Amino acid sequence: MTIDVARLSAWTGKTETAQDIVTPRLVQSFTSTFGRHLAPYEPGEAPLALHWCLTPPISPIETAGPDGHAAKGEFLPPVPLPRRMWAGGSVETITPLREGDVVTRRSTIGDISFKEGRSGPLCFVAVHHEFATERGVALRERHDIVYREAAQPGAMAAGTSGPAGAGEPADLTWEVEASPLLLFRYSALTFNGHRIHYDVPYATGIEGYAGLVVHGPIQATLIANIVTTLAEGAPLQLDYRGLFPLIAGEVFRAKARRQADGSIRGWTEGADGRVRMEGFSRLS
């Protein structure tokens, strides 16, 4: 496959602005989805990581691509690789969002880079977001998207797990059921049409996964909240990255552990004990 690097690089610096409201219904839906797996927050505040449910890209259904995402080539560059995943990023909270806030998201396309991975060519797109209310900037983040080539026939299903394992020791552990209901609710909260989260034949037969894939931001939400819980509410400064797909259908674990330098590592583990996503708090 030929990738026109110069053409894609023309998207660098492109911006997009969108607005949304932190409604009581959104807060209730979010807290009902994540239940006890949220850091404490004050009355009237929005729970941590609710911002990933705000200002989702909304486009006419007839313009959706084969994977259920909005077709590329408008805000996001027209990368010719078909499979898209949430690769990681960073998030910095400045002040909590509150119920009733009108939130403005300003997004900018950052670096677009290419590398040759073990499974073929990869394209990484960094998108920088700033979320602001009438009180000023509330949160900044960088979202890293990775595009990959189509699954190869006969390849081992991505996300296949091994025997059950205890995983790594932690100071705090949450067990979470990776049910199709959890995935459905989060897709609805984020207006996410990506078929790997709800369409089993597509996820396994077209994209080559071992089953439905747990959303990257579900895992990042849990990591952010468990890290903040262990940090006893300190402002969040977190760098995180996905390491291996997490497949729905089993109980998985979100964990956090204090590091020797005072920072906190947070991660998710599958039932086999293998780390799926990990993040590190940055020291102030």
pLDDT per position as a tens digit, 34-65: 999 999 999 999 999 999 999 999 989 998 98
pLDDT at residue 156 in the model: 62
The C-alpha angle 97, 262, 227, rounded to 5 degrees, equals: 35
pLDDT at 164: 75
Cα maximum dimension of the chain: 54
| Residue 63: alpha-carbon gap to chain centroid | 23
For the beta carbon of residue 197, count every other beta carbon within 10 angstroms: 23
- Tell me the chain's radius of gyration from C-alpha atoms: 18
Whether the predicted pLDDT of 284 surpasses 60: no
- Which stretches does DSSP call E strand in the chain? 15-21, 83-93, 102-117, 120-133, 136-148, 172-177, 237-242, 251-258, 264-269, 275-281
pLDDT in tens, 84-111: 999 999 999 999 999 999 999 999 999 9
Q: Where are the alpha helices (DSSP H) in 87-213?
A: 180-190, 200-205
Q: Which residue has the higher pLDDT, 266 or 157?
A: 266
DSSP annotation of 99 = T
Distance CA 55, CA 25 (A): 15
List of domains in the chain: 5-281 (3.10.129.10)
Is the pTM above the cut of 0.85? yes
Better-scored residue on pLDDT, 182 or 80: 182
Weakest mean pLDDT among 41-50, 124-133, 150-159: 150-159
Residue 12's pLDDT band (cuts 50, 70, 90): very high
State yes or no: pLDDT of 117 exceeds 80: no
Cβ proximity of 147 and 76 under 8 Å: no
Amino acid letter for position 210: A
